[in-house]
Structure 1
Amino acid sequence: MRTRYWKAVLATVLATVLVVGVAIPTLAQTVIDIAAVPGVTAPVLGASPVAAITETAQYTGAVVWAPTDDPFLGAQVYTATITLTAKAGYTLPGVAEDFFTVAGVTTDTNPASSGVITAVFPATAAAVIDIAAVPGVTA
């Protein structure tokens, strides 16, 4: 009889702990509102691509380039996929579609509530041929 009593008390305590245990307070977060993504510049023939944005007060970000040339080649269109990560107190859910902007691009897009930006840049300048004479060829 005593065993049944303790089992009932234990079950009541566990049920109370479980119900109370799921009440976790949430911290208020602000939707990111810095649209201009700093630190990603248009590709230039012979320059090296950046791997990260310039950090802001609200987010950090990594940059992956396609194609993956390093240094950048001439007469080539490059696409940067920029993945932003919200800092503490900020959130990406709630960001509008195509909210983010990247300087010098042909197009920049991002899905709603996402920090993944696709930035397409205009073609780099063509390589200049600077050989004055071709060996073995005479005029």
Structure 2
Amino acid sequence: MPANNRNTGRDITIDLATANGPLPFPPTILSIDAKPKYKTIDSHPINGVPQETNIPVGWEIDIEFERAGPTFDAYAAALEAAYFSGQNLQPGTINETIQEPTGGISQWRYTNVVVRLDDAGSFKGDALVHQKVRAFASNKIQVQ
């Protein structure tokens, strides 16, 4: 919920849909970090000032969560097996919903998403196991 007219990390929910169906996140998501990617093209004319143009080239999305079962380990193993058996790996989508401080809701969809398990976690004594996935999306589209 927003606090003092500002967004906090609790204001977001996400859904990941792979080509084989939904891939549910565990209940405890620790962080979601989405960053746009750009290809920078610059020009240095001899008769003018330097110029730069940024071409959008997708999104990088990092999601960290507490491991609560084998869901993402199994996904990574299935993805690996599919690749090595010659299957065509298809992209999915990520849907993001944000509760805005105004009381409204913003919804976004990332398209052509490919996901990988970036960190399967570190198992240590009396510590929680954190896992991380990294995704690449071609576009971010406003749904609502």
Please give the TM-score of this superposition, normalised by the length of structure 1.
0.31
Return the structure number with greater relative CO, CA threshold 8 A, min gap 6: 2
Greater strand proportion: 2
